[in-house]
């Protein structure tokens, strides 16, 4: 399969960023289990919103990446 090194590098950076964001969300969920009911609800709402944003952002990135793959010159690996 033909591919560009830079496409893979960009993709790796995106997913390293995703892992970092998911680690932060995990930390917030850990905090939520130690809070009273009102604080827990607010934390869970924040985490849910953040997850939806991350999913939407990465769906857009995946779509853009696929479009780039169709137009960028490639090298044989």
The residue range of the domain holding 41 is: 5-59
Contact 65, 7 (CB under 8 A): yes
DSSP 3-state assignment of 75? strand
Does 39 fall in a domain? yes
Query: In this predicted structure, what is the pLDDT of residue 3?
Result: 52
> Is-contact 7 71, C-beta < 8 A?
no
pLDDT computed for residue 12 by the predictor: 72
Give me the pLDDT at residue 1, please.
46
Q: Is residue 41 in some structural domain?
A: yes
What is the full DSSP assignment across 2-58? EE-HHHHHHHHHHHHHHHHHHHHHHHHHHHHTTS-HHHHHHHHHHHHHHHHHHHHHH
Q: Tens of pLDDT along the chain (77 residues)?
A: 445 555 666 777 777 888 888 888 888 888 887 777 888 888 888 888 988 898 888 888 878 877 877 786 666 66
Q: How many domains does the chain have?
A: 1
């Amino acid at each position: 399969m033909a591919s560009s090194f830079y496409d893979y590098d960009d993709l790796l950076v995106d997913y390293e960023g995703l892992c970092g964001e998911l680690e932060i969300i995990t930390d917030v969920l850990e905090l939520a289990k130690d809070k009273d009911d009102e604080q827990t609800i607010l934390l869970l709402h924040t985490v849910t919103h953040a997850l939806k944003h991350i999913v939407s952002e990465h769906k857009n990135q995946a779509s853009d990446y696929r479009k780039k793959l169709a137009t960028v010159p490639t090298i044989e690996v």
